[in-house]
């Protein structure tokens, strides 16, 4: 059997694969300059990013949690989709049987022209706003205001000459933002507006989950990409085993994928590429999407 990182052997498998699934995580957007959740980039000020992504944190200090999200909205708006997002979008345009599940909330796959019907945003979007009152169904899609509101302006500052943003320095005191300074829900007038993302303990969108289940049930899956994710958050990570049970070979693309400690995840017939997703995806997908043009775009079919 060819080694797990043999690009030519992978191309053979790709050419004979029709139904393809992908699960993407923060590593896909790392080359666009967006931090990941775990590991070195996983701290914001002195907070663990995964602790801020909780209902509990929002209830305790909505102003601080909003600053975290306002900063990430600003960063995502300034970032550009990378070659990895573009290569996946090109694969989707060429193969209607390719479905991409992304845990990312940064809107970069959409901005890379990924066909919306072939993209499921498992954890919502930084640019959707909803009401924090669980009994209120108000939601606003596609809010790109930056700053989101006057009190959150410190999160939208661009420093000259790449100087670090004071807000990111844990020793820099930030003015406490009170609930009165944050926008209220226009429908129920009682809840605070909050980011339309999925926090720990919250359900993923039921319609989206049913669509994904229906796609999985329809026919066997030939190949599944697991891209730039630590694959430790459920139900997202559970799709890897589901696809495997449906016959899929797994291809893991992650900076750590070929580390000794990670190799137990690579079963016979699987592939693992310990590379930057933005660099390796165009190489791996070339038999289907071709080479990018001079502007770095993959031609539309
Ligand atoms: C590169 C790279 C480069 C770097 N190129 N690679 C079953 C078992 C156990 C627990 C559960 C279970 N089912 C549900 C749970 C509970 C919980 C859960 O999973 N807990 C785990 C911690 C165990 N799940 C939930 O609560 C979910 N809800 C749910 O299941 O509801 C039903 C329910 C309710 C109540 C009780 C039980 C069930 C909701 C999960 C929501 C996750 N939300 C977040 C925040 C979203 C908003 C935001 O963005 O702020 O989603 S947390 C965070 O983790 C975010 C991410 O999408 C997610 C995954 O992170 P990701 O993308 O993998 O990032 P990293 O940083 O972990 O990894 C990056 C990787 O990239 C690294 O490996 C790098 O090496 C690599 N990399 N640069 C390629 N250039």
Q: Are residues 272 and 154 in the same domain?
A: no
Phi, psi for residue 227 in degrees, rounded to 5: -120, 120
CB-count exposure of residue 195 (10 Å: 0-12, 13-18, 19+): buried
pLDDT confidence band for 300 (50 / 70 / 90) = low
Q: Which of 162, 178, 197 is the last residue of a domain?
A: 197
Q: Report the separation in Å between the CA atom of 102 and the middle of ligand 1, taken as the mean of its atom positions.
A: 11
Mutate to test the pocket of ligand 1, among 22, 25, 101, 239 (most ligand atoms within 8 A of CB): 25
Residues with CB under 6 A from ligand 1: 25-27, 30-31, 36-38, 50, 53, 103, 105, 123, 197-203, 228-230, 232-235, 253-256, 276-277
Q: Are residues 70 and 14 in the same domain?
A: no
pLDDT exceeds cutoff 70 at 139: yes
The CATH number of residue 242's host domain is: 3.40.50.1220
CB-count exposure of residue 258 (10 Å: 0-12, 13-18, 19+): middle
pLDDT confidence band for 191 (50 / 70 / 90) = very high
Can you give the pLDDT at residue 205?
Answer: 98
Asked if residues 190 and 183 have their Cβ atoms less than 8 Å apart, the reply is no
Neighbours of 292 (CB within 10 A): 16
pLDDT exceeds cutoff 90 at 243: yes
Q: How many domains does the chain have?
A: 2
Q: Is 123 part of the annotated catalytic residue set?
A: yes
Q: Are residues 184 and 51 in the same domain?
A: yes
Residue 14's nearest CA partner among 181, 245, 212, 249 is 249
Q: Which of 197, 224, 239 is the last residue of a domain?
A: 197
Q: Are residues 280 and 234 in the same domain?
A: yes
pTM > 0.75: yes or no: yes
CA-to-CA dists, residue 152 to 39, 42, 83, 179, angstroms: 27, 21, 31, 12
Strands 249-253 and 223-227, how do they pair? parallel
Q: Are residues 234 and 115 in the same domain?
A: yes
CA-to-CA dists, residue 50 to 7, 114, 140, 224, angstroms: 34, 27, 24, 26
Q: Are residues 193 and 273 in the same domain?
A: no
| pLDDT (tens digit per residue) in 89-137 | 999 999 999 999 999 999 999 999 999 999 999 999 999 999 999 999 9
CA angle 271, 272, 273 (to 5 degrees): 125
Q: Are residues 148 and 6 in the same domain?
A: no
Domain ranges, residue 55: 35-78+124-197
Asked if residues 24 and 101 have their Cβ atoms less than 8 Å apart, the reply is yes
Q: Are residues 163 and 94 in the same domain?
A: no
């Amino acid at each position: 059997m060819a080694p797990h990182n043999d690009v030519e052997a992978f191309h053979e498998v790709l050419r004979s694969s029709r139904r393809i699934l992908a699960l993407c995580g923060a590593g896909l957007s790392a080359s666009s300059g967006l931090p990941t959740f775990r590991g070195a980039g996983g701290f914001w000020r002195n907070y663990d990013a995964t602790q801020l992504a909780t209902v509990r944190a929002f209830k305790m200090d909505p102003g601080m949690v909003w600053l975290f999200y306002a900063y990430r909205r600003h960063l995502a708006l300034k970032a550009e989709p990378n070659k990895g997002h573009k290569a996946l979008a090109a694969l989707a345009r060429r193969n209607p049987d390719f479905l991409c599940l992304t845990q990312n909330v940064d809107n970069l796959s959409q901005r890379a022209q990924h066909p919306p019907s072939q993209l499921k945003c498992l954890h919502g979007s930084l640019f959707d706003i909803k009401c924090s009152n669980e009994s209120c169904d108000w939601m606003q899609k596609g809010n790109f205001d930056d700053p989101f509101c006057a009190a959150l302006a410190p999160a939208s500052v661009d420093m000259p000459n790449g100087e670090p943003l004071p807000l990111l320095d844990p020793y820099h005191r930030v003015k406490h933002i009170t609930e009165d300074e944050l926008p209220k829900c226009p429908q129920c007038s009682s809840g605070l507006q909050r980011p339309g993302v999925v926090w720990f303990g919250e359900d993923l969108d039921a319609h989206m989950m049913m669509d994904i289940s229906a796609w999985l049930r329809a026919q066997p899956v030939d190949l599944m990409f697991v891209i730039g994710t630590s694959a430790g958050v459920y139900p997202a990570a559970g799709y890897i085993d589901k696809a495997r049970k449906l016959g899929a070979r797994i291809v893991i693309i992650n900076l750590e994928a070929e580390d000794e400690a990670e190799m137990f995840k690579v079963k016979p017939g699987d592939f693992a590429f310990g590379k930057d997703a933005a660099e390796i995806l165009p190489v791996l997908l070339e038999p289907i999407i071709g080479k990018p043009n001079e502007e770095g775009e993959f031609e539309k079919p």
